[in-house]
Structure 1
Amino acid sequence: MIMSTSEVSTDRIEREIFITAPVERVYRLVSEPGWFIGDGDPSARTIVREGDVYVVEYPPYGRFPVLPVRADAPHYVSFRGGDEPGTPLNEGNSTLVEFFLSEHRDGTMLRVVESGFDALYASAERRAAALDDNSRGWEMQLAIAKRDAERL
C-alpha cells in the first residue's frame, strides 16, 4: 500500500510503500540511476553515462539527466534529476530524489522524498502541475519497485 504524507508542501513530495523483500534486494533496485524514469518496462529506456551524470532516454518523453549524489547502502541513496541533458545539475535546476529504506520483520519500508520544486519553478501554476505529475508518478514508480523487488 502506498502512503502519502498528510502535510501539503509546495516544495516536496513524500511517499512510502512496504515491500515484502529483503532490504538489500530493494536497495539494488533503487540505487540504479534512473530506474524511476519510465512506465516499468526497462527495455523501453536506454541509460548512458556521460561523466558523472547518467542520461536516461525514454521515448517518446525525451532525455533526462540523473546525477548520483550520495549512497549509504543499504539504507539510503539520492540523486539529482533534471530536464536538460548537458546542464550541470544543482539545487536551482533540479530536484533531489532521496530513497530511505528501513528493515522490518517481513520486508522493507521504502520511502521516497523528492524536493526542490520551489527553486525549480518560479510560477505557482507550473510548480503545482509538476508536483501533481510527480506525485502520481511516484505512486506508479513505487508500485513498480514493489512488483519488481517481490518478483526477484
Structure 2
Amino acid sequence: MGSQESNTDKIEKKTVLKASRDRVWQAISDSTNFGKWFGVKFDGPFVAGEQLRGQITPTQVDPEVAKMQEPYTGKPFVIFVDCIEPQTRFAFRWHPFAIDPNHDYSQEPMTLVAFELADAEGGTLLTITESGFDQIPIERRAAAFRANDGGWSHQSRLVEKYLAQTATPGDFQ
C-alpha cells in the first residue's frame, strides 16, 4: 500500500462554511432546505431508517448549475436515510449516477453519502463523503465515481451559496 495509491472507493470534499453550525445543520438535515440547494423536491421529511422519494428539480441557488440539472428535471430521486445525528451527521444511501431510465438499479449495492459537521475557525467545517464505489458493478463504477466526484464539488459550492443567500442580520458571514 503506497501513499500514491488513489482511493477508488471514496470521494471526500471538505469546505468551511461561514455560517453557524445550526444553520448548516438546517441546510443539510431539512429535506426542503436540502432540496433547494441540491436540486430535488422530496415527498416528505428525512426520517432515519426510511426510504424517501423525490423528483429532480434544478437548484434554486445557481443558474449555471440549474442549467446542467435541467435535462434531469422530473426524474425520480430515491434515497434511504441511514442516520440523523443532530448537529453532527446526516447520512443516506443511494444508487450513484442512476440516470438511465431503461436500467433497473434496484439490485445493485448503494453508496453511503455522509454530511459531517465540526466547528471551525470562522464557521462550520462540512465534510461530504461518499463511499462504497468498489461495490458498484464494474461497467458503471468509473463513470459513477467521476460524475459524483464532480457533482460533490458543485454541491459543496451550492450549499455555501444557499447559506449566503439565506443569511439574516446577526449571522456571521
* Same fold (TM > 0.5): yes
Matched with 2:130 is: 114
> 2:51 corresponds to which letter in structure 1?
V
What 5-or-longer segments of structure 2 have no aligned partner? 58-70, 167-173
Normalized per residue, which structure has more helix? 2
- Deviations for 1:97-137, whole angstroms, at most 9, x for unmatched residues? 001111123101100110111112233xx211111100100
Corresponding position of 2:80: 67
TM-score (norm 2): 0.68
Per the TM alignment, residue 151 of structure 1 is displaced from its structure 2 partner at its CA by 2.6
Q: Deviations over 1:42-80 (max 9, x none)?
A: 5xx43124x921112116422121111111110111111
Structure 1 regions of 5+ residues with no counterpart? Answer: 1-5
Contact 1:29 1:149 in 2 (8 A): yes
Structure 2 residue aligned with 1:12: 10
Q: Counterpart amino acid of 2:77? A: F
- Measure the CA separation in 2 of the matches of 1:31 and 1:7: 34
Q: Counterpart of 1:3?
A: none
User: Separation in 2 of the partners of 1:41 and 1:70?
Assistant: 19
Letter in 2 for 1:20: K
1:69-88 superposed matches below 5 A: 69-82=82-95, 83=98
Q: For 1:32 and 1:145, locate their aligned partners in 2 and report how far apart those are by CA, in whole Å.
A: 13
Q: 2:121 aligns with which of 101, 105, 108?
A: 105
Taking only the aligned residue pairs, the percentage that are identical comes to 27
Paired residues, what number?
139
Q: Spell out the pairing of 1:1-40 with structure 2 (5 A cutoff).
A: 8-33=6-31, 40=37
Residue 73 and residue 34 in structure 1: after superposition, are their counterparts in 2 closer, same or farther (change >3 A)?
same
Which residue identity is paired with 2:115?
F
Q: Which runs of 4+ in 1 moved over 6 A?
A: 34-38
Q: What is the SS of the residue equivalent to 1:93?
A: coil
Which stretch shows the higher mean deviation, 54-63 or 134-143? 54-63
Structure showing the higher strand proportion among its residues: 1
Among residues 144, 147, 150, which one is paired with 2:161 in the alignment? 147
Aligned CA distance change for structure 1 residues 141 and 95 (closer, same or farther; 3 Å):
same
- Comparing 93-102 with 56-65, greater Cα deviation is found at 56-65
